Chains A and B, each alone.
Chain A
Amino acid sequence: MNDDTGRYPLKLEGDNIPMVSFRNVTKKYGDLTVLDRLDLDVAPGEMVTIIGPSGSGKTTVLRSLMTLETIDGGVIYVDGEPLTHMEKGGKLVRANQRHLRRMRAKIGMCFQHFNLFPHMTALENCMEGPVQVLGLPKDEARERALELLGMVGMSEKSDQHPSRLSGGQQQRVAIARALAMRPSVMLFDEVTSALDPEMIGEVTNVIRSLVDQHSLTMLMVTHQMGFAREISDRVCFFYGGSIEEQGAPATIFETPEKERTQQFLSAVLQAN
Chain B
Amino acid sequence: MSYLEFLGNYSDRLIDGSLITLLQFVLAALVAVAAAIISGLIKLAQLKPLQAVATVYIEIFRGTSLLVQLYWFFFVLPLLGVSLEKFVAGFLAVGLCYGAYGAELVRGAIQSVPRGQWEAALALNMSPAQRMWRIILPQALVIMLPPWGNLMVEILKGTALVALISVPDLMFEARQINNNTYLSAQAFGTALVIYYIFARFVVTPLMRWLERVMARRIGRA
Binding site for B on A (CB under 8 A): 66-68, 101, 104-105, 107-109, 111, 113, 115-119, 121, 128-129, 132-133, 160-164, 174, 177-178, 181
- CA A128 to CA B134, docked complex, whole Å: 9
- CA A129 to CA B134, docked complex, whole Å: 11
Q: Which residues of A contact B123 (CB under 8 A)?
A: 66, 68, 104, 107-109, 111, 178
Known: A101-B127, A115-B117, A119-B138. A67 touches B122 (CB 8 A): yes
B124 touches A68 (CB 8 A): no
A119 touches B217 (CB 8 A): yes
Q: Which residues of A contact B134 (CB under 8 A)?
A: 128, 132
Interface members, chain B 106-160 (any A CB < 8 Å): 114, 116-117, 119-127, 130, 134-135, 138-139, 142
B220 touches A163 (CB 8 A): yes
A161 touches B219 (CB 8 A): yes
Contact of A118 among B126, B130, B218 (CB under 8 A): B218
Q: Which residues of A contact B121 (CB under 8 A)?
A: 117
- CA A108 to CA B124, docked complex, whole Å: 7
Q: Which residues of B contact A108 (CB under 8 A)?
A: 123
A129 touches B116 (CB 8 A): no
Known: A109-B123, A133-B130, A181-B124. A161 touches B116 (CB 8 A): no
A119 touches B125 (CB 8 A): no
Q: Which residues of B contact A118 (CB under 8 A)?
A: 139, 218-220
Contact of A132 among B119, B130, B217, B218 (CB under 8 A): B130
B218 touches A101 (CB 8 A): no
Contact of B125 among A101, A162, A163 (CB under 8 A): A101
Closest to A117 in B: B135
Q: Which residues of A contact B126 (CB under 8 A)?
A: 128-129, 132-133
- CA A117 to CA B219, docked complex, whole Å: 10
Least CB distance from B60 to A in Å reads 34
- CA A4 to CA B116, docked complex, whole Å: 33
Least CB distance from B208 to A in Å reads 19
Q: How large is the interface on B (under 10, 10 to 19, 20 to 34, 35 or more residues)?
A: 20 to 34
B124 touches A129 (CB 8 A): yes
Residue from A67, A118, A133, A178 having most chain B Cβ neighbours under 10 A: A118
Known: A104-B125, A132-B130, A133-B126. A115 touches B120 (CB 8 A): yes
Residue from B120, B122, B127, B135 having most chain A Cβ neighbours under 10 A: B120
B218 touches A68 (CB 8 A): no
Q: Which residues of A contact B125 (CB under 8 A)?
A: 101, 104-105, 129, 133, 181
B219 touches A164 (CB 8 A): yes
Least CB distance from A261 to B in Å reads 30
Q: Which residues of B contact A132 (CB under 8 A)?
A: 126, 130, 134
Q: Which residues of B contact A119 (CB under 8 A)?
A: 138-139, 142, 217-219
Closest to B114 in A: A115
Q: Give the 10 A-B residue pairs with the shortest CB-CB distance, closest first.
A: A161-B219, A115-B120, A129-B124, A115-B116, A109-B123, A119-B218, A104-B125, A119-B138, A163-B219, A133-B125
- CA A113 to CA B116, docked complex, whole Å: 8
Q: Which residues of A contact B217 (CB under 8 A)?
A: 119
Least CB distance from A53 to B in Å reads 23
Least CB distance from B116 to A in Å reads 4
Q: Which residues of A contact B122 (CB under 8 A)?
A: 66-68, 104
